[in-house]
A = this chain, B = another copy of it.
Amino acid sequence: MANHETVRENAPLRTLTPGERFCGWYLLKSAQTATTSGGKPYLSFRLSDNSGELPAKLWDYAGPITSLDAGQAVWASGRVDSYQNQPQLVADNLRLADGTDEIDLSRLVPTAPRDAQRMLDYVEQTLRSLADADYRGVCLTLLERHREDFARLPGAMLLHHAFLHGLLMHTATMMHQADFFARLYSDIVDRDLLLAAAFLHDIGKLTEFSTSPLGLVSDYSKEGQLLGHLFLGAEEAGQTARELGVPEEKRLLLQHLIVSHHGKAEFGAIEPPKCAEAELLAQIDMIDSRMEMFRTTYLDTPAGEFSRQRVWGLDNQYIYRPAADDPA
């Protein structure tokens, strides 16, 4: 067939279909060496880019690439096959990137759908707008200390916002909501406290996560596993507040909002929310996390249909994407 003649270069993985040929730079997600029943070695691996990922095989391959190279960029070429009704790549070539290769990394790893610099500006300007100098001081001190990591880190390992700038996008969206609710319930909510805590609530994730060479979260750190990001964030915010001479009442409130932002002990909260701002913070964290899971589920679900799989993070339900309105 004619399309066998053409080779698509650097094509998004999601767009490849059985019968096509491909070549280009991708992320080596994982790799396993194996042997066929006939005793021949081969490599079973997965490639990913910012559009998705695909399984792949390289027959008669004895190295040097192994599972230890996971997380690196590779050059691969071959054809697209089909296995169990899903596309599978059969490579004929595979090598690691070296220092001389010029690779557009933004193509390889998933990235937030919004502009990172604009989000960072919004966060900083909003913090500078806080009327309360104590809350403002703690936030700006921590923003200065962690600016680069804060702007780059994903929001989670798997469930939601698992892309570059994910933590920033999640934080900025929550601050937007915090501002709305502080106005809506202005009789019982302190805007400065709620906005400061919205900024700080996941700051402990900067310590909780280990990141891969290309910037994605690859694992939890030892501190993250032994203490958790709620503890880590509240400890650092508390220490900073003490150094800045913040009054005890305000320091305690900031720490309380951080340690309670998972809402219930069963979801990891150290204490349940005990004031209106703490309650709101836990609720808007929940809302933005779940809306992001709806967003990514919809990407794989045609309008008017249910998701093909149950979605673990959404109470393990099949999710329905409503049919788009007909124009008229």
Contacts and interface: CB of A to CB of B under 8 A. Distances in A.
Interface in A10-52: 32-37, 39, 41-42, 44
Contacts of A272: 315, 317
B225 A274 contact: yes
A95 to B, nearest CB: 20
B291 A287 contact: no
Interface stretch (A121-129, A163-171, A248-256): A248-256
A265 B268 CA distance: 7
Interface residues of A, number: 84
A226 interface: yes
Interface in A48-92: 57, 59, 66-67, 81-85, 88, 90
B239 A270 contact: no
B188 A177 contact: no
A287 B283 contact: yes
Contacts of A177: 184
A187 B295 CA distance: 8
Given A176-B184, A315-B264, A234 B234 contact: no
Given A180-B180, A274-B319, A275-B321, A33 B82 contact: yes
A5 B249 CA distance: 45
Contacts of A222: 252, 306, 320
A186 B227 CA distance: 25
A249 B280 CA distance: 33
A266 B268 CA distance: 9
Interface in A237-251: 238-239, 249
A144 interface: no
Query: In the complex, which of the residues A180, A235, A238, A322 has the most CB atoms of chain B within 10 Å of its own CB atom?
Result: A322
A270 to B, nearest CB: 5
Interface of A: 32-37, 39, 41-42, 44, 57, 59, 66-67, 81-85, 88, 90, 132, 173, 176-177, 180-181, 184-185, 187-188, 190, 193, 222-223, 225-228, 230-231, 234-235, 238-239, 249, 252-253, 255-256, 259, 264-266, 268, 270-272, 274-277, 279-280, 283, 286-287, 290-291, 294-295, 298, 304, 306, 314-315, 317-323, 325
